[in-house]
Structure 1
Amino acid sequence: MELTLEAAVLHVLDPGADLPVLSQTLLTDEDALHYLGGLAAKAWNSEEAKTCSFTSESPLLAHLGELDQAFLSVTADLAQSWFDVLRENPSIPAADAAFLLLNIDGNDYFAGLKLNYKTGYAHFFDMGTGDAVTGITRQDFLLPGASGKADEAFFVDLASQQVRVLEKKYEIDGRKQPYLARRVLCVKPGMSPKEKLAAIRDIAVEVNQQFYGSTGVDEPELAAAVCEEFREFRSASSQPGAPAQPAPVAELCDKLYGNLPHAREAFAQALAEREIEMDEPLPMPAAAVRRMEKQSLRSAGGVEIKVPVSVYRDENAIEFIRNADGTTNLLIKNILL
């Protein structure tokens, strides 16, 4: 990923004050810009970031074309809205809000990072009396370290107006819920890659139980199919030429239900109900795929075995024997003692 930071401003959102502190100048310090660029890169790469879309009620939508000339005023208005939400909901931590104009892989974005305050300690010294006096003082308004991350963030593609949002849940109106997408940006939340992959896994399990009981596609088979697609995508990405695109969800469906037409139909219908299209790219966040590479199998007696999905379909390594009562026996071959 290539990220270039073109402009940045920092506003202070401390709900303990009556008003936010809105900067009237851009950040110019190179260390500060490098720090914000690093935090932006981490937020952009988060597998929990959701793809969202603007609604007609979003006040930001009308001002995207003004960012070049009115960056400070547009960000000040957005910071004020963010501050108002914090004042109304004490569970949301105080923070600084950094707003950025940046370019990621050739595309221009308007971004915001919420930098929650951290508590830390620093030394101090006083030479006022002639004697060196040193001590330790508590600091309650420290920003995340360079190796840390922004707790919440958003990225608006200035060409497509697609919005990418990373948000957290806080106690609001009596229940834990996210707020950044709906209450600050006024965008319609979508699903993060992590949530979408989890939904696809849940749908496959539901389809299996509905149509085929324990004789159809099970979770390890799904994991094996996802890992295969991921390896193919990574292999294609390493080749010279145009960047590879993840395979569509339909290809995963073919791997799972190629010879099971009723299950294919149910799988597609369940995806549509959760607003996941068959022709959209299969979400394959690397961390989530790594967690799927070994599947845990448990017996009724409590024995647990971790099976790498790389050998799941290798009959020379293991064999699943389906029993008439719906249970399955696992035969492990070529054991080295």
Structure 2
Amino acid sequence: MDIYIKQAIIHQFSPDDTELHLADDFVQITPKIEEYLRKKIERVYSDEAKTGQLGAESPFLDLLTDDLLESSRKIAQVWKEEFSVSENLKTNDLIFVHFEKNGQEHLAFMRIALRENLVHSQTDSQNPYTLTQNNLPSAGSAPDEAFILNRFSFKYHLIEKRIKYNGAFLHYFSDNLLQDNPRISAKKSIKAVEQTAQKIAEKFNQDDFQFQSKVKAAIFNHLEEENALSPEKLADQLFDQNLTARLSFVDELKEVVPEPISFEEIDSSRQLKKFENQKLSLSNGIELLVPNAVYQDAEAVEFIQNDNGTYSILIKNIEDIQTK
């Protein structure tokens, strides 16, 4: 991922007085700072991010100017008004980054909750551990919340957490700050595909281990070949012999996932890894881990249903066996 950090500024929110401590200058971008910010940004382009596109009349866009310092102060103030009603407040760094990705300008706003950590001090052997405040999490962890906006297309990626207020849980970021309804994350969309497929299969008496394996293989193949999932294409593959089941699957899935599931700018590696193998647990305690390409090859694996209703699995053409 080609990311070039141009500017960064860090404000801080304190739960003690629910006030902002606004910085008045930009962060000096050292190699370590650049690496930290870049890794945090990369984690936002994940299968857990919601996606959307702000319209030209979006009130959030009114907060943006060409001056990152001015924009960050405006956004931080609006954010504070919405976030400070939460019943569980912590000290947070509010990191604003102006960066370039694939030749286009982007704005990142990341909320990072600071931690308390114990550190080892060699000056006092009786009390070697000291509690330190305001510690940053590692660079490899995802931000607690993050919003990345393409300044050209107004497309965005959002990782948000609900806050609790008066006993209710609120999506304060998308509902109040953005005033937009983003698409659910790719991760939740794929979960909806699996659940909907199983529901329809149960309705039409197709739900067995072979169908579940078929669902996993279909998801893997579509992600690998197209980096996207189409309800219609999945329906044609999963319920090819039943028109009613195909239509039911598409209709029910679109209630949850109204648009095709796209992995544009999203790292699909975690989902590909999740679905690249078929994991079978047998009633006799044996567990099998079979790559999809092998699982779908009749010359490699054959499933036989016996007359008494049990199954036999025939694994063919094994050249070598090793213990691990």
Query: Structure 1 pair 292/330, CA: closer, same or farther in 2 (3 Å)?
Result: farther
Shift of residue 328, structure 1, vs aligned partner = 6.4
Percent identical pairs in the alignment equals 24
Q: Aligned letter for 2:201?
A: N
SS of residue in 2 equivalent to 1:109: strand
Structure 1 unaligned regions, length at least 5:
127-133, 234-244
What are the Cα deviations for residues 113-156 of structure 1, in whole angstroms up to 9, with x where unaligned?
11110112446799xxxxxxx96532111122334432211111
Whichever residue aligns with residue 82 of structure 1, its letter is W
Is 1:5–1:100's contact at 8 Å kept on the other side of the alignment? yes
Match of 2:40 in 1: 39
Matched, 1:104 2:104: no
1:189 aligns with 2:170: no
Residue aligning to 2:6: 6
Deviation at 1:321, TM superposition (A): 4.4
Give the distance between the partners of 1:84 and 1:56, measured in 2 at CA.
Answer: 24
2:245 is the alignment partner of 1:263: yes
The amino acid of 2:296's aligned partner reads R
Q: TM-score, normalised by structure 2?
A: 0.81
Once the two structures are superposed, residues 49-100 of structure 1 have per-residue CA deviations (whole angstroms, 9 ceiling, x without a partner) of 1113447995312234x2x14x222211221232233421132432100011
CA distance in 2, matches of 1:56, 1:188: 15
Which residue number corresponds to residue 281 of structure 1? Answer: 262
Q: Distance in 2 between matches of 1:282 and 1:29?
A: 30
Cα gap change, 1:113 to 1:328, in 2 (>3 Å): farther
Q: Are 2:239 and 1:254 equivalent residues in the alignment?
A: no
CA distance in structure 2 between the partners assigned to 1:79 and 1:299 by the alignment: 54
Change over 3 Å in CA distance of 1:301–1:286 after alignment to 2: same
- Give the partner amino acid of 2:131: R
Q: Paired residue for 1:203?
A: 196
Q: How far is the alpha carbon of 1:105 from its aligned partner?
A: 1.9
Alignment-mate amino acid for residue 211 of structure 2? D
Match of residue 313 from structure 1: 296
- C-alpha separation in 1, matches of 2:23 and 2:189: 38
The alignment yields a C-alpha RMSD, in angstroms, of 3.4
| Counterpart pick for 1:141 among 120, 127, 134 | 134
Q: Would you say the 8 A contact 2:44–2:158 is kept in 1? A: no
- Which residue among 86, 89, 101 is the counterpart of 2:86? 89
Secondary structure of the corresponding residue to residue 276 of structure 1: coil
SS at match of 2:187: helix
Q: Taking structure 1 as reference, are residues 288 and 170 closer, same or farther at Cα in structure 2, changes over 3 Å only?
A: farther
| CA shift in 2, pair 1:57/1:108, >3 Å | closer
Seen in structure 2, the aligned counterparts of structure 1 residues 108 and 322 have a Cα distance that, compared at 3 Å, is farther
Residue 115 of structure 1 aligns to which amino acid in structure 2? Answer: I
Structure 1 residue 116 corresponds to structure 2 residue 113: yes
Cα distance, 1:330–1:52 mapped onto 2, change above 3 Å: farther
Separation (CA, whole Å) in 2 of partners of 1:148 and 1:214: 38
